């Protein structure tokens, strides 16, 4: 029986595998980290019905009726008026930069028309670049605002019968009035595809040299660490350029995504984003010892960035700690750039902040990669 099966030999093999797993810290961390990360993100951070969405109020008079409507909207849980006394120009700039999801506008004669028994109008402008974000908030707007207005006038008992005639709510879905989902998804796919391929390919740049045993030849060359890094990542920038061309052409020809902003600004943002990705992949290759470890690091990075960037789930729907964590991923800032330029026609000033963030990511990754570069095999 010992010829075909031996508990002693099996035990020895199990001990060997356990020792190997203990030494492979990256794989062991992935085994524990990935399920824990998925549990926390899907359990706490992901929310398909976002609440506490930032909003701006344009109400020149700021009378008791406007205050009643604001209070009622905030009590729904969907609206959070971060700019309660904005001017029309300020509100336009805020929604263009993506700092607010809604702009609620009350005309200057709103209070007088309410007192006269007219049908005052309330205008709400929603950032519809992500149609799923505004749907829940808009659906509650008309009834809640009308009931609040009637209660403030002291005729709460008639609110249910008269709510349909008390207030005219005009909803303007900005940037995507038809609510086409592809307008939101396809630009985001550009960032997801680039991240998945660029980080994965460059993550194996140095580890491939280690596994093939050619690292000694590379280190013996009269080249500085920055020259070696550029030699490894520049070819992948060319690959990224081909992918960008394919995705942008498909977005325009197949999905009819609008290109409202300046194309050079869009290409500049894409270039900085791709540069940050290939340098990040190169940084992973300085940490990993094998190509398998490099792929595991890339996957471990890819999953939270995909979930917390606002691509799959509304960014505003996540709790504050998840939004803060999402800020550390380049994909989050790239999505703001590509959607703002393509769908909103944003200029350089409107996307200056995410552009600066991507530039800092690229510079920081490059610095860490050069510091991590192994001058020797020891």
**DSSP output for 181-245:** HHHHHHHHHHHHHHHHHHHHHHHTHHHHHHHHT-HHHHHHSS--HHHHHHHHHHHHHHHHHHHHH
pLDDT value at residue 265: 95
> Can you list the positions of beta strands (E) in the chain?
53-58, 79-83, 102-105, 121-127, 168-174
Question: In whole angstroms, what is the distance from residue 101 CA to residue 112 CA?
Answer: 28
Residue 28 within a domain:
no
Phi, psi (deg, nearest 5) at residue 56: -120, 145
| Strands, sheet with 102-105, edge to edge from the N-terminal-most edge strand | 79-83, 53-58, 102-105, 121-127, 168-174
By CB atoms closer than 10 A (0-12, 13-18, 19+), residue 245 is: exposed
Question: In whole angstroms, what is the distance from residue 46 CA to residue 168 CA?
Answer: 34
Phi, psi (deg, nearest 5) at residue 155: -125, 50
Do 322 and 276 share a structural domain? Answer: yes
Tell me the DSSP string of 47-84.
-SS--SEEEEEE-SS--HHHHHHHHHHHHTTSEEEEET
pLDDT value at residue 85: 87
Structural domain for 70, as ranges? 53-174
Do 154 and 192 share a structural domain? Answer: no
Domain boundary among 132, 158, 174: 174
133 neighbors 316 (Cβ within 8 angstroms):
yes
pLDDT value at residue 154: 63
Residue 251 within a domain:
yes
Question: In whole angstroms, what is the distance from residue 302 CA to residue 24 CA?
Answer: 20
β-partners of residue 81 are: 55
Do 170 and 199 share a structural domain? Answer: no
DSSP 342: I
**CA dihedral sign of residues 208, 210, 216, 221:** positive
**Strand 102-105 to strand 53-58: parallel, antiparallel, or no bridges (unpaired)?**
parallel
The whole-angstrom distance between residue 231's C-alpha and the CA centroid of its chain comes to 30
Residue 38 within a domain:
no
Do 287 and 330 share a structural domain? Answer: yes
Which position has the token pair 């005009």? 170
Do 187 and 107 share a structural domain? Answer: no
Residue 70 within a domain:
yes
Do 65 and 201 share a structural domain? Answer: no
Domain count of the fold of the chain: 2
Question: In whole angstroms, what is the distance from residue 108 CA to residue 209 CA?
Answer: 70
Give the Cβ contact number of residue 81 at 10 Å: 18
Residue 307 within a domain:
yes
Do 242 and 111 share a structural domain? Answer: no
DSSP 315: G
Do 327 and 185 share a structural domain? Answer: yes
Do 254 and 105 share a structural domain? Answer: no
Do 203 and 70 share a structural domain? Answer: no
Residue 278 within a domain:
yes
31-61 pLDDT, tens digit per residue, is: 676 677 667 766 766 777 778 888 898 988 8
pLDDT value at residue 272: 96
| Three-state SS at 334 | helix
Say if pTM beats, i.e. exceeds, 0.85: no
Do 231 and 88 share a structural domain? Answer: no
Residue 200 within a domain:
yes
pLDDT value at residue 243: 92
Question: In whole angstroms, what is the distance from residue 27 CA to residue 30 CA?
Answer: 5
CATH of the domain at 137: 3.40.1710.10
Averages of pLDDT over each 10 residues, the chain, 378 residues: 71 78 67 70 70 86 80 83 89 89 86 77 85 71 67 54 60 85 90 92 82 73 81 88 93 92 95 95 86 84 88 81 90 94 91 95 93 64
Q: At a CB cut-off of 8 Å and minimum separation 6, what does 1 contact? A: none
DSSP 317: G
Q: Calculate the alpha carbon distances from 332 to 88, 207, 300, 335 in Å.
A: 28, 28, 16, 5
């Amino acid at each position: 029986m010992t010829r075909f099966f031996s508990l002693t030999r099996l035990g020895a093999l199990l001990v060997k595998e356990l020792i190997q797993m203990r030494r492979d810290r990256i794989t062991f961390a992935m085994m524990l980290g990935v399920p824990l990360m998925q549990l926390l993100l899907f359990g706490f951070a992901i929310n398909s019905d976002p609440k506490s969405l930032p909003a701006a109020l344009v109400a020149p008079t700021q009378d008791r009726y406007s205050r009643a409507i604001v209070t009622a909207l905030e009590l729904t849980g969907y609206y959070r008026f971060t700019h309660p006394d904005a001017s029309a120009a300020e509100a336009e700039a805020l929604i263009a930069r993506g700092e607010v999801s809604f702009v609620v506008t009350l005309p200057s004669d709103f209070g007088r028309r309410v007192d006269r028994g007219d049908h005052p109008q309330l205008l709400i402008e929603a950032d519809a670049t992500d149609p799923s974000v505004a749907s829940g908030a808009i659906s509650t707007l008309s009834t809640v605002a009308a009931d609040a207005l009637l209660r403030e006038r002291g005729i709460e008992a008639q609110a249910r019968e008269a709510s349909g005639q008390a207030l005219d709510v005009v909803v303007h879905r900005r940037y995507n009035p038809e609510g086409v989902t592809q307008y939101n998804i396809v630009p985001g796919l550009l960032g997801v595809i680039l991240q998945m391929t660029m980080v994965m390919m460059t993550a194996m740049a140095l580890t491939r040299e280690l596994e093939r045993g050619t690292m000694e030849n590379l280190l013996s060359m009269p080249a500085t660490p920055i020259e070696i890094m550029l030699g490894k990542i520049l070819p992948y920038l060319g690959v990224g350029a081909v992918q960008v061309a394919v995705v942008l052409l498909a977005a325009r020809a197949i999905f009819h995504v609008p290109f409202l902003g300046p194309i050079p600004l869009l290409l500049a943002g894409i270039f900085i984003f791709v540069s940050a990705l290939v340098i990040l992949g190169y940084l992973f290759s300085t940490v990993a010892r094998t190509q398998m470890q490099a792929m595991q690091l890339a996957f471990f990075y890819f999953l939270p960035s995909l979930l917390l960037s606002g691509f799959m789930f509304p960014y505003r729907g996540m709790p504050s700690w998840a939004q803060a964590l999402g800020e550390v991923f380049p994909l989050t800032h790239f999505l703001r750039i590509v959607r703002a330029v393509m769908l909103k026609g944003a200029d350089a000033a409107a996307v200056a902040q995410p552009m600066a963030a991507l530039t800092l990511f690229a510079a920081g990754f490059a610095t860490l990669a050069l510091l991590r570069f192994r001058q020797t095999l020891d």
